[in-house]
Chain A
Amino acid sequence: MILTLRNTFTEIGNATLFAKQFFKEVFVPPYEAKELLKQCYIIGYKSLPLVAITGFIMGLVLTLQSRPTLVKFGAESWLPGMVALSLIREIAPVITALICAGKISSGIGAELGSMKVTEQIDAMEVSAINPYNYLVVTRILACTLMVPLLVFFADAIGILGGYIGVNIHGDVNFYRYMTQIFQSLEFLDLFPATIKTFFFGFFIGMIGCYKGFNAANGTESVGRAANSAVVTASLAIFILDMVAVQITDLFFVQ
Protein backbone atom coordinates (compact mmCIF):
# COMPACT_ATOMS: atom_id res chain seq x y z
CA MET A 1 0.00 0.00 0.00
CA ILE A 2 2.77 2.44 1.03
CA LEU A 3 4.82 1.32 -1.97
CA THR A 4 1.90 1.91 -4.36
CA LEU A 5 1.32 5.34 -2.84
CA ARG A 6 5.01 6.16 -3.15
CA ASN A 7 5.05 5.00 -6.79
CA THR A 8 1.99 7.13 -7.52
CA PHE A 9 3.60 10.25 -6.07
CA THR A 10 6.88 9.49 -7.88
CA GLU A 11 4.92 9.16 -11.12
CA ILE A 12 3.10 12.47 -10.49
CA GLY A 13 6.44 14.14 -9.73
CA ASN A 14 8.05 12.79 -12.91
CA ALA A 15 5.03 13.79 -15.00
CA THR A 16 5.22 17.31 -13.55
CA LEU A 17 8.90 17.58 -14.50
CA PHE A 18 8.01 16.27 -17.96
CA ALA A 19 5.32 18.95 -18.30
CA LYS A 20 7.74 21.60 -17.01
CA GLN A 21 10.14 20.69 -19.80
CA PHE A 22 7.33 21.36 -22.30
CA PHE A 23 7.03 24.97 -21.14
CA LYS A 24 10.81 25.29 -21.26
CA GLU A 25 11.08 24.00 -24.82
CA VAL A 26 7.91 25.26 -26.46
CA PHE A 27 9.33 28.76 -26.98
CA VAL A 28 12.82 27.62 -27.93
CA PRO A 29 13.74 27.15 -31.62
CA PRO A 30 13.80 25.11 -33.78
CA TYR A 31 10.03 25.38 -34.19
CA GLU A 32 8.77 22.21 -35.81
CA ALA A 33 5.90 23.85 -37.73
CA LYS A 34 5.61 21.08 -40.33
CA GLU A 35 5.40 18.35 -37.70
CA LEU A 36 2.93 20.45 -35.69
CA LEU A 37 0.65 20.78 -38.74
CA LYS A 38 0.94 17.04 -39.39
CA GLN A 39 -0.05 16.29 -35.79
CA CYS A 40 -2.95 18.78 -35.97
CA TYR A 41 -4.16 16.92 -39.06
CA ILE A 42 -3.84 13.50 -37.37
CA ILE A 43 -5.29 14.59 -34.02
CA GLY A 44 -7.91 17.01 -35.28
CA TYR A 45 -9.06 16.11 -38.77
CA LYS A 46 -8.77 12.35 -38.37
CA SER A 47 -10.85 12.44 -35.17
CA LEU A 48 -13.75 14.29 -36.81
CA PRO A 49 -15.87 11.25 -37.82
CA LEU A 50 -15.67 9.72 -34.32
CA VAL A 51 -16.45 13.02 -32.62
CA ALA A 52 -19.30 13.68 -35.09
CA ILE A 53 -20.97 10.32 -34.43
CA THR A 54 -20.69 10.59 -30.64
CA GLY A 55 -21.72 14.26 -30.69
CA PHE A 56 -24.83 13.47 -32.71
CA ILE A 57 -25.79 10.57 -30.44
CA MET A 58 -25.19 12.69 -27.31
CA GLY A 59 -27.55 15.42 -28.58
CA LEU A 60 -30.22 13.01 -29.78
CA VAL A 61 -30.21 10.79 -26.67
CA LEU A 62 -30.11 13.73 -24.26
CA THR A 63 -33.14 15.27 -25.98
CA LEU A 64 -35.11 12.01 -26.02
CA GLN A 65 -34.28 11.27 -22.36
CA SER A 66 -35.05 14.78 -21.07
CA ARG A 67 -38.28 15.32 -23.01
CA PRO A 68 -40.67 13.15 -20.90
CA THR A 69 -39.67 14.95 -17.65
CA LEU A 70 -40.07 18.40 -19.18
CA VAL A 71 -43.43 17.39 -20.73
CA LYS A 72 -44.61 16.35 -17.25
CA PHE A 73 -43.96 19.90 -16.02
CA GLY A 74 -45.33 21.47 -19.19
CA ALA A 75 -41.92 22.88 -20.00
CA GLU A 76 -41.31 21.21 -23.35
CA SER A 77 -40.37 24.54 -24.88
CA TRP A 78 -37.30 24.65 -22.63
CA LEU A 79 -35.98 21.48 -24.25
CA PRO A 80 -33.70 23.08 -26.93
CA GLY A 81 -32.17 25.49 -24.42
CA MET A 82 -31.63 22.82 -21.80
CA VAL A 83 -30.04 20.41 -24.26
CA ALA A 84 -27.73 23.11 -25.66
CA LEU A 85 -26.69 24.25 -22.19
CA SER A 86 -25.96 20.69 -21.02
CA LEU A 87 -24.02 19.96 -24.17
CA ILE A 88 -21.93 23.12 -24.21
CA ARG A 89 -21.22 23.39 -20.50
CA GLU A 90 -20.53 19.79 -19.62
CA ILE A 91 -21.42 16.85 -21.81
CA ALA A 92 -19.67 17.70 -25.08
CA PRO A 93 -16.36 18.81 -23.47
CA VAL A 94 -16.14 15.79 -21.16
CA ILE A 95 -17.33 13.13 -23.61
CA THR A 96 -15.20 14.51 -26.45
CA ALA A 97 -12.18 14.68 -24.13
CA LEU A 98 -12.78 11.08 -23.03
CA ILE A 99 -12.99 9.98 -26.64
CA CYS A 100 -9.77 11.85 -27.39
CA ALA A 101 -8.15 10.21 -24.36
CA GLY A 102 -9.10 6.82 -25.82
CA LYS A 103 -8.10 7.59 -29.37
CA ILE A 104 -5.32 10.17 -29.19
CA SER A 105 -3.62 9.62 -25.84
CA SER A 106 -3.39 5.87 -26.38
CA GLY A 107 -2.19 6.41 -29.96
CA ILE A 108 0.55 8.78 -28.85
CA GLY A 109 1.49 6.45 -25.97
CA ALA A 110 1.78 3.47 -28.31
CA GLU A 111 3.60 5.41 -31.05
CA LEU A 112 6.22 6.96 -28.79
CA GLY A 113 6.47 3.74 -26.75
CA SER A 114 7.26 1.76 -29.88
CA MET A 115 9.74 4.43 -31.01
CA LYS A 116 11.43 4.17 -27.64
CA VAL A 117 11.58 0.36 -27.71
CA THR A 118 12.97 0.26 -31.26
CA GLU A 119 15.60 2.88 -30.35
CA GLN A 120 14.19 5.49 -32.78
CA ILE A 121 14.15 8.12 -30.01
CA ASP A 122 17.77 7.26 -29.18
CA ALA A 123 18.61 7.52 -32.89
CA MET A 124 17.22 11.07 -32.91
CA GLU A 125 19.14 11.94 -29.79
CA VAL A 126 22.49 10.71 -31.16
CA SER A 127 21.84 12.57 -34.42
CA ALA A 128 21.77 15.74 -32.25
CA ILE A 129 18.05 16.22 -32.92
CA ASN A 130 16.06 17.08 -29.79
CA PRO A 131 13.41 14.30 -29.63
CA TYR A 132 11.45 16.15 -26.94
CA ASN A 133 11.11 19.19 -29.16
CA TYR A 134 10.26 17.21 -32.29
CA LEU A 135 8.01 14.52 -30.84
CA VAL A 136 6.60 15.78 -27.55
CA VAL A 137 6.19 19.55 -27.95
CA THR A 138 4.43 19.17 -31.30
CA ARG A 139 2.01 16.52 -30.04
CA ILE A 140 1.10 18.33 -26.81
CA LEU A 141 0.63 21.59 -28.69
CA ALA A 142 -1.49 19.92 -31.37
CA CYS A 143 -3.70 18.30 -28.70
CA THR A 144 -4.07 21.59 -26.82
CA LEU A 145 -5.19 23.35 -30.00
CA MET A 146 -7.29 20.60 -31.56
CA VAL A 147 -9.33 19.30 -28.61
CA PRO A 148 -11.17 22.67 -28.14
CA LEU A 149 -11.96 22.71 -31.87
CA LEU A 150 -13.23 19.14 -31.68
CA VAL A 151 -15.41 20.14 -28.71
CA PHE A 152 -16.91 23.05 -30.74
CA PHE A 153 -17.59 20.57 -33.51
CA ALA A 154 -19.20 18.14 -31.06
CA ASP A 155 -21.33 21.02 -29.67
CA ALA A 156 -22.59 21.83 -33.16
CA ILE A 157 -23.30 18.24 -34.15
CA GLY A 158 -24.89 17.56 -30.73
CA ILE A 159 -27.25 20.51 -31.22
CA LEU A 160 -28.13 19.11 -34.64
CA GLY A 161 -28.81 15.72 -33.01
CA GLY A 162 -31.02 17.52 -30.50
CA TYR A 163 -32.99 19.13 -33.32
CA ILE A 164 -33.73 15.69 -34.78
CA GLY A 165 -34.63 14.44 -31.28
CA VAL A 166 -37.06 17.31 -30.76
CA ASN A 167 -38.71 16.58 -34.11
CA ILE A 168 -39.24 12.87 -33.45
CA HIS A 169 -42.13 13.68 -31.11
CA GLY A 170 -42.93 17.22 -32.12
CA ASP A 171 -42.69 19.68 -34.96
CA VAL A 172 -40.22 22.53 -34.45
CA ASN A 173 -38.59 24.27 -37.37
CA PHE A 174 -34.85 24.76 -37.39
CA TYR A 175 -34.97 28.56 -37.13
CA ARG A 176 -37.20 28.44 -34.04
CA TYR A 177 -35.08 25.69 -32.51
CA MET A 178 -31.90 27.74 -32.93
CA THR A 179 -33.56 30.93 -31.69
CA GLN A 180 -34.59 29.15 -28.49
CA ILE A 181 -31.03 27.92 -28.04
CA PHE A 182 -29.44 31.35 -28.51
CA GLN A 183 -31.98 32.93 -26.18
CA SER A 184 -30.99 30.62 -23.36
CA LEU A 185 -27.21 30.79 -23.95
CA GLU A 186 -24.89 33.39 -22.48
CA PHE A 187 -21.23 34.14 -23.08
CA LEU A 188 -20.44 32.83 -19.60
CA ASP A 189 -21.84 29.44 -20.55
CA LEU A 190 -19.35 29.12 -23.35
CA PHE A 191 -16.26 30.80 -21.89
CA PRO A 192 -15.36 28.54 -18.90
CA ALA A 193 -16.31 25.45 -20.89
CA THR A 194 -13.92 26.45 -23.67
CA ILE A 195 -11.07 27.27 -21.28
CA LYS A 196 -11.27 23.85 -19.67
CA THR A 197 -11.04 22.12 -23.05
CA PHE A 198 -7.57 23.61 -23.56
CA PHE A 199 -6.54 21.97 -20.28
CA PHE A 200 -8.17 18.70 -21.35
CA GLY A 201 -6.19 18.83 -24.61
CA PHE A 202 -2.94 19.64 -22.86
CA PHE A 203 -3.31 16.77 -20.40
CA ILE A 204 -4.38 14.28 -23.08
CA GLY A 205 -1.24 15.07 -25.10
CA MET A 206 1.06 15.35 -22.12
CA ILE A 207 0.00 12.05 -20.52
CA GLY A 208 0.20 10.16 -23.84
CA CYS A 209 3.68 11.56 -24.52
CA TYR A 210 4.86 10.96 -20.95
CA LYS A 211 3.74 7.33 -20.94
CA GLY A 212 5.21 6.64 -24.39
CA PHE A 213 8.45 8.51 -23.83
CA ASN A 214 9.08 6.64 -20.58
CA ALA A 215 8.09 3.17 -21.79
CA ALA A 216 10.44 0.48 -20.54
CA ASN A 217 12.31 -1.75 -22.95
CA GLY A 218 10.39 -4.62 -24.54
CA THR A 219 7.30 -4.77 -26.72
CA GLU A 220 5.05 -5.51 -23.75
CA SER A 221 5.69 -2.02 -22.43
CA VAL A 222 4.22 -0.49 -25.61
CA GLY A 223 0.80 -1.96 -24.81
CA ARG A 224 1.22 -0.96 -21.18
CA ALA A 225 2.10 2.61 -22.16
CA ALA A 226 -1.01 2.89 -24.39
CA ASN A 227 -3.28 1.38 -21.76
CA SER A 228 -1.89 3.46 -18.96
CA ALA A 229 -2.17 6.62 -21.08
CA VAL A 230 -5.93 6.08 -21.59
CA VAL A 231 -6.63 5.32 -17.94
CA THR A 232 -4.54 8.20 -16.58
CA ALA A 233 -5.82 10.72 -19.14
CA SER A 234 -9.47 9.75 -18.47
CA LEU A 235 -8.94 10.12 -14.74
CA ALA A 236 -7.19 13.46 -15.27
CA ILE A 237 -10.16 14.69 -17.33
CA PHE A 238 -12.62 13.96 -14.51
CA ILE A 239 -10.37 15.60 -11.91
CA LEU A 240 -9.83 18.65 -14.14
CA ASP A 241 -13.56 18.87 -14.78
CA MET A 242 -14.29 18.84 -11.08
CA VAL A 243 -11.73 21.59 -10.47
CA ALA A 244 -13.06 23.60 -13.45
CA VAL A 245 -16.64 23.38 -12.18
CA GLN A 246 -15.55 24.58 -8.74
CA ILE A 247 -13.64 27.51 -10.21
CA THR A 248 -16.55 28.40 -12.51
CA ASP A 249 -18.89 28.22 -9.57
CA LEU A 250 -16.64 30.52 -7.57
CA PHE A 251 -16.10 33.20 -10.21
CA PHE A 252 -18.96 33.08 -12.69
CA VAL A 253 -22.10 31.96 -10.85
CA GLN A 254 -23.85 34.68 -8.90
Chain B
Amino acid sequence: MIKEKENIEPKTKKTKEESKTPMIVIKDLHKTFGKDNKVLQGVNLTVNKGEDLVILGRSGSGKSVTIKCIVGLIEPDKGEIKVFDENVLNLSKKDLNEIRVRIGFLFQSGALYDSMSVRENLAFTLRKHKSELTAEEIESEVIEALDNVGLADAIDKMPSELSGGMQKRIGLARTLILKPEIILYDEPTTGLDTITSREISELILDIKHKQKTTSIIITHDMACAKLTADRIMVLKDGKIHAEGTYEELEKDEDEWVRSFFE
Protein backbone atom coordinates (compact mmCIF):
# COMPACT_ATOMS: atom_id res chain seq x y z
CA MET B 1 0.00 0.00 0.00
CA ILE B 2 2.79 2.35 1.02
CA LYS B 3 4.58 1.57 -2.21
CA GLU B 4 1.45 2.38 -4.16
CA LYS B 5 1.15 5.72 -2.36
CA GLU B 6 4.74 6.51 -3.19
CA ASN B 7 4.01 5.77 -6.79
CA ILE B 8 0.97 7.96 -6.95
CA GLU B 9 2.46 11.03 -5.26
CA PRO B 10 5.08 11.97 -7.83
CA LYS B 11 2.52 11.43 -10.62
CA THR B 12 0.21 13.98 -9.05
CA LYS B 13 3.10 16.39 -8.69
CA LYS B 14 4.05 15.84 -12.33
CA THR B 15 0.51 16.62 -13.46
CA LYS B 16 0.65 19.95 -11.65
CA GLU B 17 3.98 20.71 -13.27
CA GLU B 18 2.65 19.63 -16.66
CA SER B 19 -0.15 22.17 -16.44
CA LYS B 20 2.51 24.88 -16.38
CA THR B 21 4.49 23.38 -19.23
CA PRO B 22 4.42 25.84 -22.10
CA MET B 23 3.23 24.11 -25.28
CA ILE B 24 3.25 27.17 -27.53
CA VAL B 25 5.49 30.18 -26.97
CA ILE B 26 5.40 33.12 -29.38
CA LYS B 27 7.88 35.96 -29.00
CA ASP B 28 7.88 39.27 -30.85
CA LEU B 29 6.00 38.01 -33.92
CA HIS B 30 5.84 40.41 -36.86
CA LYS B 31 4.08 40.00 -40.19
CA THR B 32 3.46 42.57 -42.90
CA PHE B 33 1.46 41.89 -46.05
CA GLY B 34 2.28 43.92 -49.13
CA LYS B 35 4.24 47.10 -48.56
CA ASP B 36 2.67 48.53 -45.43
CA ASN B 37 -0.15 46.30 -44.20
CA LYS B 38 1.37 45.56 -40.79
CA VAL B 39 -0.83 42.82 -39.38
CA LEU B 40 1.33 41.57 -36.52
CA GLN B 41 3.60 44.01 -34.72
CA GLY B 42 5.20 42.08 -31.90
CA VAL B 43 2.78 39.45 -30.64
CA ASN B 44 3.92 37.63 -27.49
CA LEU B 45 1.95 34.76 -26.03
CA THR B 46 2.33 31.51 -24.15
CA VAL B 47 -0.13 28.64 -24.00
CA ASN B 48 0.40 26.09 -21.24
CA LYS B 49 -0.42 22.42 -21.35
CA GLY B 50 -4.11 21.65 -21.03
CA GLU B 51 -5.07 25.31 -21.38
CA ASP B 52 -7.74 26.76 -23.68
CA LEU B 53 -6.65 30.21 -24.82
CA VAL B 54 -9.20 32.36 -26.62
CA ILE B 55 -7.94 35.16 -28.87
CA LEU B 56 -10.35 38.01 -29.48
CA GLY B 57 -9.95 40.97 -31.78
CA ARG B 58 -11.59 42.84 -34.62
CA SER B 59 -11.66 41.38 -38.12
CA GLY B 60 -8.27 41.78 -39.75
CA SER B 61 -6.47 42.18 -36.44
CA GLY B 62 -4.21 39.20 -37.20
CA LYS B 63 -5.79 36.43 -35.12
CA SER B 64 -5.90 33.87 -37.93
CA VAL B 65 -2.48 34.98 -39.18
CA THR B 66 -1.05 34.21 -35.73
CA ILE B 67 -2.31 30.62 -35.66
CA LYS B 68 -1.39 30.08 -39.32
CA CYS B 69 2.17 31.12 -38.42
CA ILE B 70 2.19 28.45 -35.70
CA VAL B 71 1.61 25.63 -38.21
CA GLY B 72 3.86 27.16 -40.86
CA LEU B 73 1.11 28.12 -43.31
CA ILE B 74 2.30 31.73 -43.17
CA GLU B 75 5.93 32.66 -42.70
CA PRO B 76 6.38 35.58 -40.31
CA ASP B 77 8.85 38.37 -41.03
CA LYS B 78 10.36 38.32 -37.58
CA GLY B 79 9.95 36.58 -34.25
CA GLU B 80 10.12 33.19 -32.63
CA ILE B 81 7.50 30.43 -32.40
CA LYS B 82 8.21 27.47 -30.17
CA VAL B 83 5.86 24.50 -30.25
CA PHE B 84 6.73 21.47 -28.08
CA ASP B 85 9.93 23.40 -27.34
CA GLU B 86 10.98 23.38 -31.01
CA ASN B 87 11.38 26.60 -32.97
CA VAL B 88 9.09 25.86 -35.91
CA LEU B 89 10.60 28.63 -38.01
CA ASN B 90 13.98 26.89 -38.15
CA LEU B 91 12.69 23.39 -38.84
CA SER B 92 13.13 21.47 -42.07
CA LYS B 93 9.96 20.51 -43.95
CA LYS B 94 10.22 16.96 -42.61
CA ASP B 95 10.60 18.04 -38.99
CA LEU B 96 7.83 20.61 -39.37
CA ASN B 97 5.54 17.87 -40.67
CA GLU B 98 6.32 15.76 -37.60
CA ILE B 99 5.14 18.67 -35.44
CA ARG B 100 2.10 19.27 -37.67
CA VAL B 101 0.88 15.72 -37.07
CA ARG B 102 0.69 16.57 -33.36
CA ILE B 103 -1.30 19.76 -34.02
CA GLY B 104 -4.90 19.79 -35.19
CA PHE B 105 -6.24 22.77 -37.12
CA LEU B 106 -9.94 23.41 -37.55
CA PHE B 107 -10.53 25.81 -40.43
CA GLN B 108 -13.28 28.41 -40.45
CA SER B 109 -15.08 26.65 -43.31
CA GLY B 110 -14.29 23.12 -42.15
CA ALA B 111 -12.14 22.74 -45.31
CA LEU B 112 -13.45 19.25 -46.07
CA TYR B 113 -12.10 17.73 -49.30
CA ASP B 114 -15.18 18.13 -51.46
CA SER B 115 -14.28 15.36 -53.91
CA MET B 116 -14.27 12.81 -51.06
CA SER B 117 -17.07 11.41 -48.91
CA VAL B 118 -17.02 11.94 -45.15
CA ARG B 119 -15.50 8.46 -44.71
CA GLU B 120 -12.74 9.19 -47.24
CA ASN B 121 -12.09 12.62 -45.71
CA LEU B 122 -11.26 11.00 -42.37
CA ALA B 123 -9.60 7.86 -43.70
CA PHE B 124 -7.37 9.86 -46.07
CA THR B 125 -5.45 11.56 -43.24
CA LEU B 126 -5.23 8.31 -41.30
CA ARG B 127 -3.95 6.29 -44.28
CA LYS B 128 -1.23 8.84 -44.94
CA HIS B 129 0.14 8.79 -41.41
CA LYS B 130 -0.68 5.33 -40.09
CA SER B 131 0.05 3.09 -43.04
CA GLU B 132 0.37 0.10 -40.70
CA LEU B 133 -3.38 0.13 -40.01
CA THR B 134 -5.60 -2.38 -41.81
CA ALA B 135 -8.74 -1.30 -43.67
CA GLU B 136 -10.89 -2.58 -40.79
CA GLU B 137 -8.88 -0.66 -38.21
CA ILE B 138 -9.14 2.52 -40.29
CA GLU B 139 -12.89 2.05 -40.61
CA SER B 140 -13.30 1.57 -36.86
CA GLU B 141 -11.21 4.68 -36.10
CA VAL B 142 -13.27 6.69 -38.58
CA ILE B 143 -16.49 5.55 -36.95
CA GLU B 144 -15.10 6.31 -33.49
CA ALA B 145 -14.06 9.83 -34.55
CA LEU B 146 -17.49 10.46 -36.07
CA ASP B 147 -19.15 9.11 -32.94
CA ASN B 148 -17.18 11.63 -30.88
CA VAL B 149 -18.79 14.46 -32.81
CA GLY B 150 -22.18 12.75 -32.93
CA LEU B 151 -22.28 12.30 -36.70
CA ALA B 152 -21.72 8.60 -37.33
CA ASP B 153 -24.77 8.60 -39.62
CA ALA B 154 -23.14 11.01 -42.04
CA ILE B 155 -20.30 8.62 -42.93
CA ASP B 156 -21.38 8.08 -46.56
CA LYS B 157 -22.42 11.66 -47.28
CA MET B 158 -20.52 14.09 -49.47
CA PRO B 159 -19.49 17.46 -47.95
CA SER B 160 -21.97 19.26 -50.23
CA GLU B 161 -24.82 17.35 -48.55
CA LEU B 162 -23.88 18.62 -45.08
CA SER B 163 -25.02 21.76 -43.27
CA GLY B 164 -22.47 24.34 -42.08
CA GLY B 165 -22.56 23.00 -38.52
CA MET B 166 -22.17 19.40 -39.71
CA GLN B 167 -19.22 20.39 -41.90
CA LYS B 168 -17.49 21.94 -38.90
CA ARG B 169 -18.15 18.85 -36.78
CA ILE B 170 -16.78 16.56 -39.50
CA GLY B 171 -13.81 18.93 -39.85
CA LEU B 172 -13.29 18.55 -36.12
CA ALA B 173 -13.55 14.75 -36.37
CA ARG B 174 -10.94 14.80 -39.13
CA THR B 175 -8.72 16.96 -36.93
CA LEU B 176 -9.16 14.63 -33.95
CA ILE B 177 -8.52 11.40 -35.81
CA LEU B 178 -4.75 11.77 -35.42
CA LYS B 179 -5.24 12.46 -31.69
CA PRO B 180 -3.43 15.83 -31.66
CA GLU B 181 -2.02 17.30 -28.48
CA ILE B 182 -2.72 20.87 -29.59
CA ILE B 183 -5.82 22.05 -31.48
CA LEU B 184 -6.08 25.43 -33.18
CA TYR B 185 -9.65 26.52 -33.86
CA ASP B 186 -10.13 29.26 -36.45
CA GLU B 187 -13.53 30.80 -35.73
CA PRO B 188 -15.27 27.49 -35.00
CA THR B 189 -18.74 28.99 -34.57
CA THR B 190 -18.78 31.69 -37.26
CA GLY B 191 -21.81 31.53 -39.53
CA LEU B 192 -23.74 29.13 -37.31
CA ASP B 193 -27.01 29.65 -35.46
CA THR B 194 -26.97 30.09 -31.67
CA ILE B 195 -27.93 26.50 -30.87
CA THR B 196 -25.36 24.96 -33.23
CA SER B 197 -22.72 27.42 -31.98
CA ARG B 198 -23.37 26.26 -28.44
CA GLU B 199 -23.16 22.62 -29.51
CA ILE B 200 -19.78 23.25 -31.16
CA SER B 201 -18.54 25.15 -28.06
CA GLU B 202 -19.62 22.26 -25.83
CA LEU B 203 -17.86 19.87 -28.19
CA ILE B 204 -14.63 21.88 -27.83
CA LEU B 205 -14.97 21.67 -24.06
CA ASP B 206 -15.73 17.97 -24.24
CA ILE B 207 -12.65 17.32 -26.38
CA LYS B 208 -10.49 19.23 -23.92
CA HIS B 209 -11.69 17.07 -21.03
CA LYS B 210 -11.62 13.75 -22.86
CA GLN B 211 -8.41 14.12 -24.84
CA LYS B 212 -6.56 16.54 -22.54
CA THR B 213 -5.74 18.84 -25.45
CA THR B 214 -4.25 22.31 -25.41
CA SER B 215 -6.10 24.80 -27.61
CA ILE B 216 -6.08 28.23 -29.12
CA ILE B 217 -9.55 29.35 -30.14
CA ILE B 218 -10.01 32.33 -32.43
CA THR B 219 -13.53 33.62 -32.12
CA HIS B 220 -15.89 36.58 -32.18
CA ASP B 221 -18.55 34.55 -30.40
CA MET B 222 -18.52 35.66 -26.76
CA ALA B 223 -20.76 32.78 -25.69
CA CYS B 224 -18.13 30.39 -27.09
CA ALA B 225 -15.36 32.36 -25.39
CA LYS B 226 -17.19 32.30 -22.04
CA LEU B 227 -17.74 28.56 -22.22
CA THR B 228 -14.33 27.48 -23.44
CA ALA B 229 -11.73 30.02 -22.31
CA ASP B 230 -9.34 29.45 -19.46
CA ARG B 231 -7.68 32.68 -20.48
CA ILE B 232 -8.49 35.36 -23.07
CA MET B 233 -6.13 37.58 -25.03
CA VAL B 234 -7.32 40.59 -27.00
CA LEU B 235 -5.41 41.61 -30.12
CA LYS B 236 -5.30 45.25 -31.15
CA ASP B 237 -3.04 46.92 -33.73
CA GLY B 238 -1.03 43.73 -34.15
CA LYS B 239 -0.21 43.38 -30.44
CA ILE B 240 -1.73 41.73 -27.40
CA HIS B 241 -3.72 44.57 -25.89
CA ALA B 242 -5.28 42.84 -22.90
CA GLU B 243 -5.12 39.48 -21.17
CA GLY B 244 -7.10 37.81 -18.42
CA THR B 245 -9.98 35.52 -17.61
CA TYR B 246 -13.45 36.17 -19.02
CA GLU B 247 -14.58 37.64 -15.72
CA GLU B 248 -11.53 39.91 -15.41
CA LEU B 249 -11.78 41.30 -18.94
CA GLU B 250 -15.53 41.79 -18.65
CA LYS B 251 -14.79 44.39 -15.96
CA ASP B 252 -11.64 45.79 -17.58
CA GLU B 253 -10.97 49.49 -17.23
CA ASP B 254 -10.47 49.83 -20.98
CA GLU B 255 -13.79 50.60 -22.64
CA TRP B 256 -12.60 49.12 -25.94
CA VAL B 257 -11.92 45.75 -24.26
CA ARG B 258 -15.25 45.87 -22.44
CA SER B 259 -17.05 46.51 -25.71
CA PHE B 260 -16.40 42.87 -26.74
CA PHE B 261 -18.38 41.69 -23.74
CA GLU B 262 -21.44 43.94 -24.16
Contacts and interface: CB of A to CB of B under 8 A. Distances in A.
Interface of A: 30, 111, 114-115, 118-120, 122-129
B33 to A, nearest CB: 12
Contacts of A122: 68, 73, 107, 111
Interface of B: 68, 71-73, 97-98, 100-101, 103, 105, 107-109, 111-115, 124-125, 128-129, 178
8 contacts: A118-B114, A119-B109, A120-B113, A125-B73, A126-B103, A127-B101, A127-B128, A128-B129
B107 A128 contact: no
Given A126-B71, A128-B97, A119 B125 contact: no
Nearest to B68: A122
B125 A118 contact: no
A118 B160 CA distance: 13
A118 B111 contact: yes
Given A120-B114, A123-B113, A128-B97, 15 more contacts: A111-B115, A114-B114, A118-B109, A118-B111, A118-B114, A119-B107, A120-B111, A123-B105, A123-B107, A123-B111, A126-B71, A126-B105, A127-B128, A127-B178, A128-B129
B191 to A, nearest CB: 13
Nearest to A117: B109
Contacts of A114: 114
B108 A119 contact: yes
B109 A126 contact: no
A77 B31 CA distance: 73
B177 to A, nearest CB: 10
Contacts of B178: 127
B125 A129 contact: yes
Nearest to A121: B111
A124 B111 CA distance: 9
B73 A128 contact: no
A118 B171 CA distance: 13
A25 to B, nearest CB: 11
Nearest to A123: B111
Contacts of A115: 113-114
Nearest to A118: B109
Nearest to B178: A127
Contacts of B68: 122
Contacts of B71: 126
A122 B175 CA distance: 13
Contacts of A129: 124-125, 128
B127 to A, nearest CB: 10
Nearest to B116: A120
Contacts of A111: 115
A120 B116 CA distance: 12
Contacts of B107: 119, 122-123
B113 A128 contact: no
A207 B40 CA distance: 34
A123 B103 CA distance: 12
The 7 A-B pairs at the shortest CB distance, nearest first, are namely A128-B97, A123-B111, A119-B111, A128-B100, A126-B105, A119-B107, A126-B71
A120 B112 contact: yes
Contacts of B72: 125
Nearest to A34: B127
A128 B105 contact: no
B133 to A, nearest CB: 15
A125 B70 CA distance: 13
Given A118-B109, A119-B107, A119-B108, A126 B114 contact: no
Contacts of B115: 111
Contacts of A119: 107-109, 111
A65 B97 CA distance: 60
A244 to B, nearest CB: 34
Nearest to A111: B115
Nearest to B102: A128
A150 to B, nearest CB: 22
A59 to B, nearest CB: 36
Contacts of B108: 119
